[in-house]
Structure 1
Amino acid sequence: MDAKEIEKLKYPIGKFEMPTEITSAILLKYIDELEVYPGKLSNLVSDLDEQKLSTAYRPGGWTVRQLVHHIADSHHHSYTRFKWALTENKALIKAYEEKEWSKLFDAKTAPIQLSLTYLSALHAKIVYLLRGLSDADLNNCYTHPEDEFVVTVAENICKYAWHGRHHYAHIKNLIEREGWR
């Protein structure tokens, strides 16, 4: 497999690009995506057997099981980042080593239902929070420690809607390539 094919498998919907203008219509669309995402993901993966859950979405990539657990871990961090941005002045967040988290026992072996159930509750909380924000709240921000990049609440909404689509596409494309459905 050449580098171009690997890149397409890594980024099936393309790399994240921040909208040039974040409008209220865009934010509502992305919040709606976040609201339905847990059910959509659950429908995609719930009938996969252990062998399929243990299949990597690309050579050298995470398994479907690791992806599902990563999504829950990452969106958990996103929720915390929203809270920090809303309650602290330019909060300096804590980064996490997602690749190392994916190597942990639970990411490799835990039933995916644990993360699917968690995502359902977590996204309900995220969406409830996001739907109640003011325009001023959307401009609150956090700072990432690795590059001191500042991210607003509005930008984080865009990032995590993309993040969900990104990993959903990894799994969906694998299912289609393997002819599992």
Structure 2
Amino acid sequence: MESFSYPIGRFEYGKTYTIAETKSHIQTISALPSKLFNIVNPLSQAQLETPYRPEGWTVLQTVHHIADSHMNAYIRFKLALTEDNPFIKPYEEALWADLADGAGAPLDWSLQLLKYLHLRWVMLLNSLTEEDLQRTYFHPETKRVFPLQEVVAMYAWHSEHHYEHIHRLCLREGWIAE
């Protein structure tokens, strides 16, 4: 079950990253909207409504979740860049996924949102200096201070994590060839 839940492994918190690694993470974030479009756009409605694992989200919910999560991440970056170690607002991801726009909105809405959100987010990320990447926010649930450099890595991981949920489902079901 671990490989269904964490197909690329768990994110490792507390690491530091070189500028080259951060640039690579930004490229991963930048690539997600087109990778996601290419894998989910050909799927039928029935396929979109298939959970990626037992008791997991459907493909459609996963795409909507990525949009929700990355919108929150973008706002958190802007808060950290304009305030001194702000407290960020957590949200209930599973409950958001069950709302009408998380479970039943058209796929294209979140794909388009991600396309344009990532254009802005990557523009912002590419403008950051090494000093900016050391800026932080405080997450009240984990009681941790997160430097933006680590958050870039975490969202690169998040991008690949959910992409692989969908990709591996498509392979298992024979919807795509390797």
Q: Does 1:150 align with 2:145?
A: yes
**Alignment map for 1:28-177 (pairs within 5 Å):** 28-177=23-172
After TM superposition, the structure 1 stretch with the greater mean CA deviation from structure 2, 52-61 or 142-151, is 142-151
The alignment partner of 2:98 has SS state of coil
- Could you tell me whether the CA contact under 8 Å between 1:138 and 1:153 is conserved in 2? yes
1:34-72 Cα deviation digits (max 9, x unpaired): 111100110010011100000000000000000000000
C-alpha distance in 1 between matches for 2:142 and 2:18: 26
C-alpha distance in 1 between matches for 2:132 and 2:101: 35
Pick closer, same or farther for the CA change 1:19–1:176 going to 2, 3 Å.
Answer: farther
Runs of 4+ in 1 over 6 A off after TM superposition: none
Q: Which amino acid aligns with 1:158?
A: A
Count of matched residue pairs: 176
- Could you tell me whether the CA contact under 8 Å between 1:30 and 1:161 is conserved in 2? yes
The percentage of aligned residue pairs carrying the same residue is 47
After TM superposition, the structure 1 stretch with the greater mean CA deviation from structure 2, 104-113 or 155-164, is 104-113
- Could you tell me whether the CA contact under 8 Å between 2:60 and 2:107 is conserved in 1? yes
- Could you tell me whether the CA contact under 8 Å between 1:92 and 1:144 is conserved in 2? yes
C-alpha distance in 2 between matches for 1:19 and 1:145: 16
TM-score, normalisation: structure 2: 0.96
1:19 deviation in Å?
7.3
Pick closer, same or farther for the CA change 1:146–1:18 going to 2, 3 Å.
Answer: closer
Pick closer, same or farther for the CA change 1:19–1:147 going to 2, 3 Å.
Answer: closer
- Could you tell me whether the CA contact under 8 Å between 1:12 and 1:170 is conserved in 2? yes
1:20 deviation in Å?
3.6
- Could you tell me whether the CA contact under 8 Å between 2:26 and 2:122 is conserved in 1? yes
TM-score, normalisation: structure 1: 0.95
1:18 deviation in Å?
4.0
Instruction: List runs of 5+ in structure 2 lacking aligned partners.
Output: none
The alignment partner of 1:21 has SS state of coil
Aligned to 1:7: 2
Aligned to 2:17: 22
- Could you tell me whether the CA contact under 8 Å between 1:18 and 1:158 is conserved in 2? no
- Could you tell me whether the CA contact under 8 Å between 2:15 and 2:150 is conserved in 1? no
Instruction: List runs of 5+ in structure 1 lacking aligned partners.
Output: 1-5
Computed over aligned residues only, the root mean square deviation of the Cα atoms, in angstroms, reads 1.0
